[in-house]
Amino acid sequence: MLLVRDVLDKQMVDRQQNRMGKVDGIVLSLSDGEPPKVVFIEIGSLTLARRLGRRPYQWLLRLRQLAGAEDAARVFRVPWVKVKDVGLDIEVDIDWHETPLKQCQDWLKRHVVKWIPGGQS
């Protein structure tokens, strides 16, 4: 398995095949005398922005602070041990409802779609 070819940017799904976002980043741990180890998968717009460059990352962080997000620099991480299958999709064993994507979608449902006629039906 090659991390960049087979894991990074691949579709993440849960056990029920709900789409949970793409793999936006990979976190390795380095310790002396040992090969690097994959510890987390990251998902979220901040990770994406950081891959684009330092400036976009800082702008997005500022934007999140302005929007009043508590702990604006926090990124959602999935422990590597939760990864169950690496195929064309990455299957992980976590609750879909915990992911920032699902929470964001739920927020949109409660605060935006609700106000549009027909959005609830």
Where along the sequence are the contacts to another protein (CB under 8 A)?
5-6, 8-12, 18-22, 24, 48, 51-52, 88, 101, 104-105, 108-109, 112-113, 116, 118-121
Minimum gap (Å) between residue 70 Cβ and another protein: 22
3-state SS string for 45-68 = HHHHHHHHCHHHHHHHHHHHHHCC
> Which lies closer to another protein via its Cβ, residue 51 or residue 84?
51
CB of 33 to another protein, least distance (A): 31
Of 32 and 115, the one with the shorter C-beta distance to another protein is 115
Measuring CA to CA, how many Å separate 84 from each of 68, 94, 107, 121? 35, 10, 29, 36
- Residue 26, both tokens: 């990979």
Least spacing, CB of residue 77 vs another protein, in Å:
16
Report residue 104 as tokens.
């964001």
